[in-house]
């Protein structure tokens, strides 16, 4: 029988603290910059923040590229054709195809999410404002996640040099 909390350790506590700090800092900074939907910064930080820098960098690249393509596609389609359901479907389809042509892997999923947000949410603002704000909110969350993934520094991989250094210090 497994005891609740049995797998709890310091690394999980640190990751939990990073997530909490990422959310608070993302919302705080988004509010400082007067971004209208600052919660997207926090969501983006949560989505990309891994337990190490390498994982965070990999996820950040996909999210940033996907968001940029989706913001551009959504902005263009919303500007010229509005938010009609048919044009939304065309925009999503062409966004997937563009990501495929550019060999962007899984970025198409996040690109389509951004197309939906730009085309279907916040119709009171011009589409380009929504597209730019969405990109800035995501980029802000990514920057915060990248910083937090490196602080405090993760464990150093064990190499012969670190083992020698440890023996010299003992």
pLDDT (tens digit per residue) in 100-155 = 999 998 899 999 999 999 999 877 888 999 999 999 999 999 999 999 998 876 54
Residue 2, SS3 per DSSP: coil
* Phi-psi group of 69: left, alpha or beta (phi > 0 → left; psi -120 to 50 → alpha; rest → beta): alpha
Tokens 């359901």 found at: 85
pLDDT (tens digit per residue) in 37-63 = 999 999 999 999 988 888 899 889 989
Give this prediction's pTM: 0.81
């Amino acid at each position: 029988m497994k005891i609740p909390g049995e797998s709890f350790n310091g690394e999980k506590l640190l990751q939990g603290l990073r997530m909490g700090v990422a959310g608070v800092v993302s919302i705080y900074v988004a509010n400082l910059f007067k971004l209208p939907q600052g919660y997207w910064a926090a969501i983006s930080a949560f989505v990309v923040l891994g337990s190490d820098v390498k994982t965070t960098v990999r996820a950040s690249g996909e999210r940033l590229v996907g968001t940029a393509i989706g913001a551009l596609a959504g902005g263009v389609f919303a500007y010229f054709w509005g938010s009609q359901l048919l044009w939304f479907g065309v925009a999503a389809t062409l966004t997937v195809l563009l990501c495929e042509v550019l060999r962007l892997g899984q970025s198409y999923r996040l690109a389509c999410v951004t197309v939906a947000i730009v085309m279907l949410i916040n119709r009171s603002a011009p589409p380009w404002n929504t597209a730019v704000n969405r990109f800035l909110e995501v980029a802000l969350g990514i920057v915060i996640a990248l910083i937090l993934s490196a602080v405090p520094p993760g464990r150093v991989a064990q190499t012969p040099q670190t083992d020698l250094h440890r023996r010299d210090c003992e």
